[in-house]
Structure 1
Amino acid sequence: PVGFSVDMTRMLHADMHFELLGDIPADGHVRSTMRIDGIYDKGSGALIATTTDVVDFESGKLLARLGSGMFVRGEGGFGGQRGPTDGWASPEREPDSILTYETLPEQALIYRLTGDRNPLHSDPEFAVKAGFPAPILHGMATYGFTARALLHAVADSDPSCFGSMYGRFTKPVQLGETLEVQVWKTADGALFRTMDSSGDVVIDRGRMSLRSAR
């Protein structure tokens, strides 16, 4: 609507999903179209759920579908629906694989090369206004480290086998943090979660599917 705005200091990436429908060409042009699927009332904030279709510009072929949730703190309590529920449960056994990655103190500045210029990840004053003592790592950078772990642990390091991935961001990651990805293999992929060095979960309710298994 006209006049709609969001205070960026109150907005955090809540969850992310992607589905690959084929191999992504190394070069070319794509067209991305995003739609808002819903705005849900989570009490302490509002969750804005979106879907983005990515198509090949020349052929119109659908290459990927992205789903994202953005949580806006302080905007809940408007009486809306809470949104879909997720029945994910941690397996009652030890992980099949545990992979550990160390991030760099300058990791967020490197990730800015993707085009994500949110000052929460680079501007100390903005970070303080948003309620953090210092800039934090992009959620999608943590998601990328996790995807790399799943690629090697589940998809035999073969990108053509990677089908889809979902995860919910549960805690900000500090710059230079060590990430531990716990993986439980399933018939069609894996369940996973990502921890920080203090043992707190930073990506929860993770699901990954293999393209060859679908």
Structure 2
Amino acid sequence: MAQTAALSGLRKTNLREQALLALRRAISTGELAPGTHLVETDLSERLGISRGTLREAMRQLQQEGIVSAGPRGRLSVRTLDAQEVIDLFAVRAALEALAAQTLSTADDNDAALDRLRESVQTMADLTGVDLEQRIEADLAFHLELVRVTGNASLLHSWQSLEGAIRMSFMWAGHDKAAGNMRVDRHRAIVDAIADGDPEAARACVVEHMREAVANLVQ
């Protein structure tokens, strides 16, 4: 079955959110490759929306780190280099290690562990399907890891990296990205948290990120 292009006409409801989803999908699937200049007239016509609505969506993508501004403010799909990916995953490791440590010492973390196990099961259920869905499930797990700590500053910090994380998968290519979606690697983090040893939980996350970045930049 032929894949439907992400950049096609939208329904006339909640257009900004639909435009955001369509643009994110076009970028994550490579329909809009890293470095592609984003021309308002072209994109607004393809999506069937006004240029004003498109600009709102593009501003959001800039905030997410998916789109960047070049000379004279010209927007393009963000590109990364190897050092940026390494730096990104170092920051991820620090944030998510803190989340794992926090959860491992929480007085009542049963509900948080249940939610993380549900996220891991979703990843398992998607094994073998298209990579886009698996990437979304992977991101959902890591987002849940920081969300269930209840630390709003930690959550905000992680969310500010989400666009760059998406772009790191595009930069590396689908084959390398797929190597980071293994269910056992994520289940190990949950098990480490459940054991109640904060240092072991921290170390598990740090090793997870070390393996992930090594796979992406190899």
TM-score (norm 1): 0.34
| More helix as a share of residues | 2
TM-score (norm 2): 0.34
| More strand as a share of residues | 1
